[in-house]
Structure formats: structure tokens, C-alpha cells
Structure 1
């Protein structure tokens, strides 16, 4: 347990599949971070339960909370604004009597009471919190945050965030938001066909396997990253992942060796890398960043960012090196970058 004092702040990132939280002290040191599964599309109860679990783990309610979100997009809600208001109500209820500051992007932090007229600014702004944090620590950089489901690609320079898009739709159009991650991405969107036994085989348009299976087979998936049931509710082992991958080709596990399935996983990883690299090139083409401006890696999939930096011929910096984490007791704060960033920004506001 990492006990919270009244002067501390907790940052929250309310996602559609996970809840992330970060505990910072009054000096800005990251003391703890946590990611919990939160299948919000199944019901608001899952968010309530996850928030309660974080508070129980950390032993107290601090004097302040800072909140950002992307979970308003889940199809539990009829609109994004309805989702924002529902999530704000949960946080107000669960965190009372402590004040709740909502990150509203370029509008800064707003009290929960002001959220009704600011839903568009609050919705899906967690990437801007992370990029704002990086912009205050590096003169130029390209933040690449690869999570379980999405990738954020954001340029920073001169103390500012150089984003072209400010909402999901605009960001997808300019390559700054890519729906591709290392855990929940369906294999059927990682490639249309794969090389297998000397021929090209189309992948089935079925939710039989996900990117967690791919990276489990390549040996790169962090052990703590995959927090939801497998597509077939089967074991999260290399053999289980190979079985799910085989099904994408209309085959059984026994149709090839484990080495063959691992080779196929590497091909799928390479295809995902190429897609991400294309979007990085697109974003870089919008900006005049110096040739030595680094890629800053964040998220559970930042092992890919190191490889992407090599492909770009740019230095790699792990976001951890920008944090005051010497007092960290538990968790991986870089997996929870928006939660850390929103707490840090609120502390400085």
C-alpha cells in the first residue's frame, strides 16, 4: 500500500478498456501508478469498482484529483457528451469531498461543476496532457505513446504542442491518432494476408486473435499488459496464442510448429510497424523538427517506439527519464503516461 497524504494529488485517465491512475506527492515525485481492467462498454459499474479499488489500495483520499478521459467514446453512451457527463458524475461521487479538476485541453483545468459546457474540450484529451508534459521538458520531440488499443503521435517544439488535430476525428485524418496497439488490436486489421507455407493466405475477418497474441509469440509483450480475457477465453500462453493465430488462417495449432507461428507473429508485428512508421512520417512532414529531435516512448507498447526510432534514424528517449520517479513504490508510470501528466500539470497550474 502506498499511503496518500492530504497534499498529494492523484491523476486519473479514464479509458474505455482500462483505468489508469498515478499518485504524485507535493514535490512532483511519482510515488505509485496502476492500470486496472475496466470494460466500460459493459457498464458504468466497472468504472465505479475500479476507482474504489485504487482508493482502497492507496489508503486515503488526497486533497486533490486531476482527471482526463477517453472512455466517453464507448458505445455504452449515445454520444460523447453524454459519456463525459456520466464519467464526471462517477468521479465526483467516488472522490467526494475532494475537489476534482478536469483536464479540458487548451482550456486548462476546470472544476467538475463547469463540465456541462465543456464536454467537447474534455473528451479524449489525454494525449494533450502527455504531450504538454513532454513540451515542458524537451525543446523538440515526437511523442509516440503506444498503448493497448491506440497510438498517439504528437510533435512538440518551442515549449508548445504542435498538434494539427484536436479531436479524435481530426487526429485520425492527420495521422496523429492511429487505432493500433499491442494488446487489443484485432489481428484481422494488422494485415490483409500473410505468407504461410510458400503462399499468401488471406486472414479471416473474425475476432479470433489480437495483437497481444502476436507480441506474446514474439516474446515482447510485458507480462502485466494483457488484462482482459483472450478472444477464445483460453489460456494466455504461447501455445494458446499460437492456437488463436492459427484460427485466423482457418487452421488448427497442429498444422505448423510453434516456430512457424512465431515467424508469422513477427511478420504481423512488422506490418504493424510499417503502418505506424508511415503515420510517423506523415506527422513529421507537417513539422520542421531538427534531425536529432528524439522519439519519446510511452505506453505499454513503447518497446516498439525504440525500434521505430531506429527506423527513423532518431534518438530514443523513454518518458521515464523525464519523470521524478526515484520514490516510486509500485507500478509503471510510463504505462500510465496521461495519468502522470495530468497530475503533474494540475500540480503546476
Structure 2
């Protein structure tokens, strides 16, 4: 038990978990859906599912973004509630909470570090990557958001730390592989030789565009579709058509694939612009790699090529057991907090 650390990343839509053993070997990684905005009972259920799949839990290292869920009136309340929820779900574990630049803190003082704990999961991944590589550009393209961080001199060269600061600096781009409503990607789109306004309704998500293109890893799409309908290419075309006030019969499958490709490209251009902005700071050398993490990292190798950077998957930085390979890079913050906590334990001796 003393040699086992389980890392958790409590998000607003998923609970991610990873286990590491002495020496830093990642032996498990998984993600379960957790619609936190619907109530804390969703998190309780997600923890219960993780417990059935990872046993024993051992010590824990916890990071979060779920405090942003509109279940809570403010972030400080959200942090307090999530700390209490973790303690209730895993009463036997010795909890350590990631407080970013302050390192790890215990449950008894976590409330006093709410600002540092809130949405600091990106800093765990970036800190681990910086220590492993020295320099590079970490891009974590998740289901909801994309984090873009410069790594130089073995350190994270972030200019922002809170979500508001990071939105200002361009280090946080609020767009992701599956959950982003397509109405947030563009105001208009090309169709049948004309620009057509996009309806400002939750008719379709980015998952629909990537599903129509045939490149969506279905395991990454763990939440219901916008209309509660099936996760098929035909159903996604129907939802996509609705975004421009049309029915699927108003176009051919190739028409809808072209629209999906344009919308996906528009989303990736926003990420590419944000990456170029960070690189323009001139803090890393040209051969420095783009390190891809998150469920959308399959889109990042082409991005690295366009930016003229070599690509490395976050999983390449890890000592992975075979059973952890599928999810480790998707669950990068959970893996990172577990490894950082393990390093702290080993230093303490």
C-alpha cells in the first residue's frame, strides 16, 4: 500500500484515475463519465466505479477542474465540496491535493488553498513533462478544453495560472474533441457554394464532426449526444445538418463530410494559432518537440508537422504496464499527480 499511489483528476464531465507503483511504473489508467453538473451523487457513483476497477487505492493524489461546474456558486465552494466528496468516497486513503505552485497539501488545509487547487490539473501534467524533457510545447487536447504550455529549462513557462489568466494568455483554449457545441466553433460555414449562418442552438457537438469524418475514437465520447440519439455517422450527419437549418436529405453524405471537415479545421486552426502564439515567445529551440496528451491527441501529430516540430506522445515519457497504455496519455493529469506525489514520498524517504 505504501508503494502504491492513485492519482485522480476530478473533472466536470469525467473522473480520471491512474495508479503508479514504486519506481514510477504506471500500472493502470482509466476514465469514467461523471456529469458533475447534475449533482455530487454523480461523482460518488464515479468513485464507486473506479473502486471496482482499481483495488487497493493506496495513497491518493488529487487534482481537479470540477469546481467550475455550475452546481457550485463559486470555485472556492466547489473545491471544498470536492475535497469532502473525495474524503467520503475514499475514507481509508491518505489524500494529498495538488495546489500547483505550492505542491501538495493535505485535506485539512485544502480549503485555504482553493485558488491554487482550482483547475490546476494542467500544471501537474506540464510540471512532469518539463522535468522529463527539459523543453517543448505541451498540448493537451481533451474532451472540453485544450491546454497549451511552453516548457523550457526544465520548468513550466506559464504566464497565467487561473482560468481567467490562462484564457487571456492563450494558454487555455476552451475547445475540445467531443463536448464542444458546434455553435461555438463558427458563426457561419460554407455549404453548397454559399456561407450559411450557424444556428446558436445545442444541436450538435464536435464529436459529431469527427464521427462523420470517421476519425473519432468512440471510447473518448462517453456522454450522450446533443439530441440523445445514436452515435452513428448517419445520426451525426442529421445533427450537423440541423446546425445550418437543414435536414440530412438536403445534402449528400459527401456534403456533410465537407462541412464536418471545415468545422474540424476551424477548431484546429484556433488551437494552432494559440500554439503559434506561445512559440512566438522564443523560449524554446526549434527541435523542441510538441508533446501531445488528451483524448484528441491523434489530431496533434499533424499540428506538430504544420508547426515544424517533432511530435512526442505523452505516453512516451512514461514507464507503462501494458494494461495502462490505452488511457495513460488521455488521463495525463491523473498520471502526473500520481507520479509527482510518488516523487515527493520517495524524497521524504
TM (normalized to structure 1)? 0.96
CA distance in 1, matches of 2:301, 2:183: 25
- Structure 1 residue 97 displacement after superposition: 2.0
The number of residue pairs the alignment matches comes to: 344
Distance 1:112 1:186 in 2: 36
**Correspondent of 1:27 among 17, 23, 26:** 23
Aligned to 1:83: 78
Aligned equivalent of 2:41, options 45, 66, 77: 45
Using the TM superposition, name which of 112-121 and 143-152 deviates more. Answer: 112-121
Q: Which residue of 2 aligns with 1:11?
A: 7
User: Is the 1:6–1:61 contact (alpha carbons within 8 Å) kept by the matching residues of 2?
Assistant: no
Paired with 2:42 and 2:281, the residues of 1 have a C-alpha distance of 40
* CA RMSD, Structure 1 to Structure 2 (Å): 1.1
Tell me which protein shows more helix as a share of its residues.
2
Q: What CA deviation, in whole Å up to 9, does each residue of 1:43-75 have, x standing for no partner?
A: 00000110111011123231x000000000111
Counterpart secondary structure, 2:71: coil
Q: Would the aligned equivalents of 1:298 and 1:335 in 2 still touch at CA under 8 Å?
A: yes
Aligned ranges 1:27-176 → 2 under 5 Å: 27-62=23-58, 64-176=59-171
| Equivalent position SS for 1:224 | helix
Unaligned runs of 5+ in 1: none
Query: 2:28, 2:321 within 8 Å by CA — same for their partners in 1?
Result: no
Alignment correspondent of 2:347:
none
> Which of 252, 256, 260 is the matching residue for 2:255?
260
> What is the CA-CA distance between 1:195 and the residue it aligns to?
1.0
Name the CA distance, whole Å, in 1 between partners of 2:201 and 2:281. Answer: 36
Contact 1:220 1:303 in 2 (8 A): no
For residues 247-326 of structure 1, the aligned pairs below 5 Å read 247-326=242-321
5+ residue gaps, structure 2: 345-349
Structure-2-length-normalised TM-score: 0.96
Instruction: Choose 51-60 or 261-270, whichever is displaced more.
Output: 51-60
Matches within 5 A, 1:196-215: 196-215=191-210
What is the alpha-carbon distance in structure 2 between the residues aligned to residue 231 and residue 48 of structure 1?
24
